[in-house]
Amino acid sequence: MSTGYIEYFKTSVYPHIKDFDFVHDLAEYNHKRVGLSLNTETQNIPSLADYTNLETLHCFRVSEAQLKDLPKLNTVKNLNMMASTIEDLSFLKQFPNLIFLTIDGCPNLLSTSGLAALSQIKILSFVGNLNLRDYTEVAALKNLTVLKLTGTTAGSTLKMGNLKWLSSLQNLEDLTLENISTPKGELSPIAKLRNLKRLIIPAKSKLEQIAYLMGSLPDTKCFHFAPFHTAFNKHDEFLNCVNCGTPKIRLTGRGKGRVICKKCDVEILDLHMKTFNEWSERGRKERDG
């Protein structure tokens, strides 16, 4: 599956739940529905067993008590879980054939225990679960092709443990890591993902890590796989050097003084390029070795 998260959501998830008509009583609702939206007030959760056409389930602020009443839902392929009080993912055993799963804004979630039950999962997204640190159980999902791990859209950073578990996901084609931080900014385990086609990493990643990944993953598309980009102001206009008028560039990586002039700041650019090329070459050698 080469379809990315957004593409799959638009075509296979959203059309089933776009009315966001939250069901009050499942026993009395249309049992032929392909998609359903549930919330805290939804009653008669066991009646989901009677929805034999159900493929997509959207859950907003659904409680753990409601989740304990879930029947086995073999037909459900897509699940959105948003703003729930869940502490782990043990309820996922009721969804043995999931292909798509989003866990979004669940502040009490501390464990990914339960993920290993999803043998068919292809697309997995964790967004804004800021108290969840350990994602090692994701390593058991050998068929995963798309993985998205982010902080919040408001910019809150997700503090993660190391990423060594990523190297087990050899079928991964699309990886998004946004608004996250890792110990010492370490991203090198991503280099083991040789089938990766698309990669998004934090903009303030270390230069050395970015260059190393670029050398290791020559067939992967990533915006940051370049030593610099043209610099723009907030109005998307060129930032021109006040001395020579040349458009400035923004150096890849973290740190102060990243916006420079290629003509006036030659020494800074040369040092930057030296570091970038050395680490890129290191990645290439380790890949080929």
Residue 225 structure tokens: 């796989």
pLDDT the model gives residue 20 = 82
Residues in the chain with pLDDT < 50?
A: 1
Q: Name the token pair of 265.
A: 């700041």
- What are the sequence ranges of the domains in the chain? 5-202, 226-289
Q: Which CATH code is given to the segment(s) 5-202? A: 3.80.10.10
pLDDT for residue 2: 56
Q: List Cβ neighbours of 264 (8 Å cut-off, separation of 6 or more).
A: 241, 243, 244, 246
- 201-216 confidence digits (pLDDT tens): 998 899 999 999 999 9
> CA-CA distance, 153 to 64, in Å (whole number)?
25
Residue that has been written with the tokens 């001395």 in this structure = 243
Cα gap 91→108, rounded to integer Å: 15
Nearest Cα to Cα of residue 63 among 96, 38, 92: 38
Side-chain-facing half-sphere of 113: CA atoms under 13 Å = 7
In whole angstroms, what is the distance from residue 159 CA to residue 149 CA?
11
pLDDT value for 115: 96
Tokens of 212: 């190393």
Backbone φ and ψ of 210, nearest 5°: -65, -50
Are 128 and 152 in contact, with CB atoms under 8 Å apart?
Answer: yes
Looking at residue 155, what is its pLDDT?
A: 65
State the pLDDT at residue 157: 85
pTM over 0.85: yes
Rounded Cα–Cα distance for residues 273 and 267 (Å): 10
Quick: pLDDT tens for 133-158: 889 899 999 999 999 999 876 667 88
Contact 55, 33 (CB under 8 A): no
Q: Which amino acid is at 179?
A: N
